[in-house]
Amino acid sequence: MIRFFRIFSPTVLVLLTAIMFQASIAFGVVQTQKTRAVTGVDDAPLFLEYRSVRIGMTTDEVRKKLNDPSDKSAEQDLFVFSDNESAQVFYDKSGKVFAISVNFLNGAPDMPTAKSVFGSDIPAKPDGSMYKMVRYPKAGCWVSFSRTSGDAPLTTVTLQKIE
């Protein structure tokens, strides 16, 4: 019996405690992902910003982050980053972002998947297209993911403030 207790010195007990703590954190992350995957709803969206642009930013802040838009007005800006990626940023009457819509053509290097936007995959329709929208009332916004069918699909991700 004495040898058994000698094995569990204070150092070993600290190591065992640390291992158990890490295992509990991993379990909590897995449970959160499972909950999000099953319900499709969470308090905050995974897609909450695009290229550091968020809802509520001013026109000037957006243009500093994304450089000069290809087309601009007081209501919206169009940014073209490549042949495969563009974004529209919409402003309210006070000049603050209330929506961001990003388009990715087939071959865009950072094209998001439904899983990266929502935390889980969504089933494709028979023609191969996809669509899903989730409201996040606590975060005050909704997010949608849309992908067209075909060999060169267009993927659109939209983040919009709930009015």
Distances (CA, A) of 10 to 17, 97, 99: 10, 55, 55
How is residue 128 written in tokens? Answer: 């191969």
Residue 5 has a pLDDT of 42
Residue 107 has a pLDDT of 84
**DSSP state, 96?**
B
Q: Where are the domains of the chain?
A: 1-39, 41-161
Whether 24 has a pLDDT exceeding 70, the answer reads no
How far apart CA 79 and CA 62 sit, in angstroms, is 10
Whether 20 has a pLDDT exceeding 90, the answer reads no
Distances (CA, A) of 23 to 7, 19, 101: 22, 6, 39
How far apart CA 149 and CA 95 sit, in angstroms, is 35
Residue type, 145: F
Secondary structure of 120-160 as H, E, C letters: CCCCCCCCCCEEEEEEECCCCEEEEEEECCCCCCEEEEEEE
Whole-model pTM: value is: 0.73
Whether 32 has a pLDDT exceeding 60, the answer reads no
